[in-house]
Chain A
């Protein structure tokens, strides 16, 4: 049985939750208790744009679609960040036009002290 959607949970578009939803769309209880199957509109944004990327080697759920939004979402100061998407270095000017896709390997790097 489907669990109700949790307010703080990130649901993926192609993920299991949405697929299960489609399957149950035409069952009788859908019409009796639609709120049980359809997330509140406040949560729709989570449902439709969230995805997983490999950020610095770790699988990370993000809400952003572009690189610059993702960097802001991570709370990283953009001034000193070097960003690499799928082993390709992305210039700061191009961050806003760089759309991320499910499974992209993103590296956020910076210079640190070293000998």
Chain B
């Protein structure tokens, strides 16, 4: 099974449908993550099958007993690294992780996660905003993971964020767009790319987010924990592209009553 997807589809619909974070251009609107893979060897083929151009990693203390290879060795050089600040409970901790990640050669991108709620892993918007302000001033391309909120969306614009990343549903739950209405409102007001991050469990949910006008989605758990992450990666890529095309095609709205698709004249019964 190999369907070539990444090159043709978007060019047919619009001249230029490039996604920008800061001044960095992306042609793929699917962001992926490196967590929870049963075999890390499937990360590279998954990236190739999905066409994803950016993938998240986390920073942790080394365990000398666990002789595991560093995750970066499993990621092709052509794919951009998006370090996250997972584990940070305060803005200060997030800033520290971001600085280490950049100094370690991961580039200017950073996904801010400031989380104190360990049950639902819902982000602390105040801490996220504070970390965004500090890191944007230091030249980072900041992608803040946030609880969908209009006011915070505007504040993140002012703080210098490069995108808005509202959650669909709690991390790793595969529950889809529980925050649908709020995400719609964020898409309405945001001048920055909106990336729906977390909770997307199926390609249909990714397509729905893209149809709504999200600029990209970030999918990790659903791909990594599927039986075949390579096929799942491709399925998500197709869904994201279909959703994007549908959004650009400006689909007609819903109606209450039936409206015949065939002419209502010239029936044979008369």
A36-80 toward B: CB 8 Å interface, digit per residue (1/0)? 000000000000000000001100000000000000001111011
Verify A76–B71 contact, CB threshold 8 A: no
Verify A114–B34 contact, CB threshold 8 A: yes
How many positions in chain B have a CB within 8 Å of any CB in the partner chain? Answer: 39
Our pick among B37, B60, B73, B96 for the contact of A87 (Cβ within 8 Å) is B96
Q: Which residues of A (4-34) have their CB < 8 Å from a CB of B?
A: none
Q: A107: which B residues are within 8 A, CB to CB?
A: 61
Q: Which residues of B (53-85) have their CB < 8 Å from a CB of A?
A: 56-62, 64, 67-73, 81, 83-84
Of all chain B residues, which has the CB nearest A74?
B64
B184 CB within 8 Å of chain A: no
B221 CB within 8 Å of chain A: yes
Q: How far is the CA of A80 from the CA of B71 in the complex (A)?
A: 9
A71-102 toward B: CB 8 Å interface, digit per residue (1/0)? 00011110111101001010000000000000
How many positions in chain A have a CB within 8 Å of any CB in the partner chain? Answer: 22
Q: How far is the CA of A81 from the CA of B70 in the complex (A)?
A: 8
Q: How far is the CA of A107 from the CA of B96 in the complex (A)?
A: 12
B189 CB within 8 Å of chain A: no
Verify A112–B96 contact, CB threshold 8 A: no
Q: A76: which B residues are within 8 A, CB to CB?
A: 62, 64
Q: A74: which B residues are within 8 A, CB to CB?
A: 64
Q: How far is the CA of A66 from the CA of B126 in the complex (A)?
A: 40
Shortest beta-carbon distance from A114 to chain B in Å: 3
Q: How far is the CA of A111 from the CA of B104 in the complex (A)?
A: 10
Q: A111: which B residues are within 8 A, CB to CB?
A: 57-60, 70-72, 81, 83, 101, 104, 106
Of all chain B residues, which has the CB nearest A76?
B64
B35 CB within 8 Å of chain A: yes
Pull 16 A–B residue pairs with CB atoms less than 8 Å apart, ordered by A.
A76-B62, A77-B67, A80-B70, A81-B62, A82-B59, A109-B59, A110-B60, A111-B57, A111-B58, A111-B60, A111-B81, A112-B68, A113-B35, A114-B35, A115-B35, A115-B198
Residues of A at under 8 Å CB distance from B?
A: 56-57, 74-77, 79-82, 84, 87, 89, 107-115
